[in-house]
A and B are shown apart, each in its own frame.
Chain A
Amino acid sequence: MSQFLKDYVKVKKHNFRVGVKKARISKSCYLFLAPYAIIFTMFFVMPVVISIFFSFTYYNILEAPRFVGLQNYISLFLEDDIFLISIKNTFMIAILTGPLGYIGSFLFAWLINELPRWVRSVAVVVFYAPSIAGNCYVIFSVFFRGDAYGHVNAFLMNAGIIDTPILFFTNPQYMLPICMVVILWMSLGAGFLSFVAGLQGVDKSQYEAGYMDGIKNRWQELWFITLPNMKPMLMFGAVMSITQAFGVCDVTMALCGYPSTDYAARTIVTHLFDYGFSRFEMGYACSIATILFLIMILCNKAIQSFLSRVGT
């Protein structure tokens, strides 16, 4: 045993020495990396660490942080009813729009890929435009306006289905569904682009080979040839759509207001904003941020391990 340990230490030491030597040779590499690494560490890594640290304290910016242990988490889950509503809303949005948006992105990218070249480039613009159109989603508030001048209300009233206009963004019954529609509309984002590009990169001779080997229709082709080839892009798309699905707040805040009626459209991020930038309870807000962070990372890992089995 001691022999083994000695060897182990020896190997480790050797590796370390080799590492140091390599690092010394590649000094210029570190120089190139340095600007990015410094900024990245400062604004992406440190915040996560700080956030986890503050989540165990009571901190309101004015006073020095006071250590309170797990108190923040306990009150989040046991005392804060609104947080539970926000978790429920976020998960409802994420579970419905995440997978649907993801599958939709792939489906449309795959269908677009069948089109002739110039039609395809027009189609990509049309499908991708909503997600880069800034806050164009605000237009839905005109479309679903709560008075009779809104298109949906006018249509329903003309058709005789309702007598009085529905207050779409004030009635808790309608808020979430409409937000989900809007989020779905915007969900063909970076993942979609990645799929479109990836599909064009699939080696065409594989399709011919598949045809020779007796693949009968486009669905078989999709499962046996396209999907295995697309796995890296599928991973990338999944990361994008999960991040988007759990980070919903812009749409709900713009359409349903902040705060929304009965907190019916409150998401985790909205709750975070409320405590962080309105009440300045930074410790509490940081514990919300930490929970959101854990949810996102865990979901990503789970989906990745699931996706690695697709199409084989």
Chain B
Amino acid sequence: MSNMTNNTTENNNLDFENSDMMNENFQDSYDADGNDLYAAEEQLEELSPIVESSSAPQEPLIQKAEKKKKKGKDDEEETYHKPIIKRRKPNRSIAGDIFLYIFLLLVAIVMFFPIIYAVESALKPLDELYKFPPRIFAQNPTMDNFSDLFVTLSKSWVSFSRYLFNTVFITFVGTAGHLFIASMAAFVLAKYEFPGGKTFFKIVTVAMMFTGYVTGIPNYIIMSKLGMIDTYWAIIIPAFASPMGLFLMKQFMEGLPTSLIEAAKIDGATEWCVFSRIVMPNVKPAWLTLIIFSVQGLWNNKASTLIYSEEMKTLPYAMQQIQAGGIARTGEAAAVLVVLMVVPIAIFIFSESQILETMASSGLKD
């Protein structure tokens, strides 16, 4: 298909629309065969000289769809149109749907409010933080709190960049190692049968059932025997073996067709080759899931019990010190919250669809 003639924005829109529709079809089997016809229609659209679209490339999708409909009539060509308003699902009352939307909207506001409030507090100047009656939204939003935060930290004994480096290093190495080691184990657990494999996996699922706090003290003892106290490894190495990552990875890998691996074997691939070239590229959605859970754990790790030297402390720990600074630091404390929460949320937003794809196979069968 040559898309050279079209103007690019229109083209992008079409592509987006098409993929959107395809996904919808994938989910709604009601219009299962709309897909091919729709593609045909798209071709038709591309062939015809596009006048109206170049004049107003930013039209809403619905109008465009209507235009297509008109054009279809003019050309007297029988094309299938996906209805603009989707056919209602069976067993749904309209009143129920309206109630549902309102209810969800209210709950969503309540859920998101504290996060908005944290951002707003970070933007407030000090006099607004202590105003009576207090307001939720800042009237003169400033970035002062953020710059103050930077100044405070840069004057401290250990520089801000060092704290940041510690956290980034721990998060990055811990996540990468976790991804690698857990996928290796998950691969053999999911795809091969060998004595002890099933038992091992059962133990891992039991390990998901208790929190890390239970093992905190013995972990400390073990690490002090290994000489890992007060090094980054005290945080990083236990993170490698987080049971949740192995569990999710194994469940997702079970969905891979075994024939793929067998075919590679017949072509003479070694075990390692199968893992690194066939399996790993095919489970990319699961990578992101492991990454988000691992980052979530490591990014906020205060590491206060396992690391003593100030220059090895993590960013959340430094932030905690600022928060403990009392009333004068209220604005900065809010800025701290914002800085710390942005990273995991951003990762989640960018990888949401892949994460959901992985979580679909997260079920726990007994």
By a beta-carbon cutoff of 8 Å, the part of chain A in contact with chain B is: 19, 22-23, 26, 28-30, 32-33, 35-37, 39-40, 42-48, 50-51, 54, 61, 108, 111-112, 114-117, 121, 123-130, 132-140, 142-143, 148-151, 154-155, 158, 185, 188, 190, 193-194, 196-198, 200-201, 204-205, 207-208, 210-211, 215-218, 220-221, 231-233, 235-236, 239-240, 242-244, 246-247, 249, 269, 272-273, 276-277, 282, 285-286, 289, 292-293, 296-297, 300, 304, 308
A246 touches B341 (CB 8 A): no
Question: Do B211 and A22 touch (CB < 8 A)?
Answer: no
Option from B193, B207, B357, B364 in Cβ contact (under 8 Å) with A40: B207
Residues of A within 8 A of B288 (CB): none
Tell me how far the C-beta of B198 lies from the nearest C-beta in chain A, rounded to whole angstroms: 12
With contacts A125-B352, A190-B293 taken as known, whether A236 is within 8 angstroms of B91 at the C-beta atoms is no
Q: Is the CB of A197 within 8 A of B357?
A: yes
Please, how many angstroms separate the alpha-carbon atoms of A23 and B28 in the complex? 46
User: In the complex the two chains form, is B111's CB within 8 Å of A127's CB?
Assistant: yes
- Chain A min CB distance to B173 (Å): 14
Query: Taking beta carbons and an 8 Å cutoff, which residues of B are in contact with A?
Result: 20, 23-24, 27-29, 86, 89-93, 96-97, 100, 103-104, 107-108, 111-112, 114-115, 117-118, 121, 129-134, 136, 181-182, 184-185, 187-189, 192-197, 200, 203-222, 237-238, 240-241, 243-244, 246, 271, 275, 292-293, 296, 299-300, 305, 316, 323, 330, 333-334, 337, 340-341, 344-345, 348-349, 352-353, 355-360, 362-366
Contacts A126-B111, A277-B217 known; list 20 others, CB within 8 Å: A33-B189, A33-B200, A36-B240, A40-B204, A40-B241, A44-B207, A46-B222, A50-B221, A115-B104, A117-B23, A128-B348, A134-B340, A139-B117, A139-B121, A148-B132, A149-B130, A194-B359, A240-B208, A272-B213, A282-B217
Known: A143-B114, A197-B360, A197-B362. A217 touches B91 (CB 8 A): yes
Determine the residue in chain B with the shortest Cβ distance to A229.
B363
CB-CB < 8 A to A50: which residues of B? Answer: 218, 221-222
B91 adjacent to A218 (CB under 8 Å): yes
Given A185-B114, A296-B211, A296-B214, are A111 and B341 also a contact pair (CB < 8 Å)?
A: no
Give the distance to chain B from A105, nearest Cβ to Cβ, in Å.
Answer: 12
A133–B345 CB distance below 8 A: yes
Q: Which residue of A lies closest to B136 (CB)?
A: A151
Let me know if B292 and A132 touch, CB within 8 A: yes
Shortest beta-carbon distance, B194 to chain A, in Å?
4
**CA–CA, A190 and B214, complex, Å:** 20
Would you mind naming 26 contact pairs between A and B with Cβ atoms under 8 Å apart? A26-B193, A29-B194, A33-B189, A35-B240, A40-B204, A40-B243, A43-B215, A50-B222, A111-B104, A112-B104, A129-B348, A132-B341, A133-B344, A133-B345, A136-B115, A136-B340, A138-B337, A139-B114, A208-B29, A235-B365, A243-B209, A289-B214, A292-B210, A292-B213, A296-B209, A297-B206
Q: Beyond A132-B292, A216-B91, A289-B214, is A47–B117 a contact (Cβ under 8 Å)?
A: no
Judge whether A39 and B181 touch: CB under 8 Å: yes
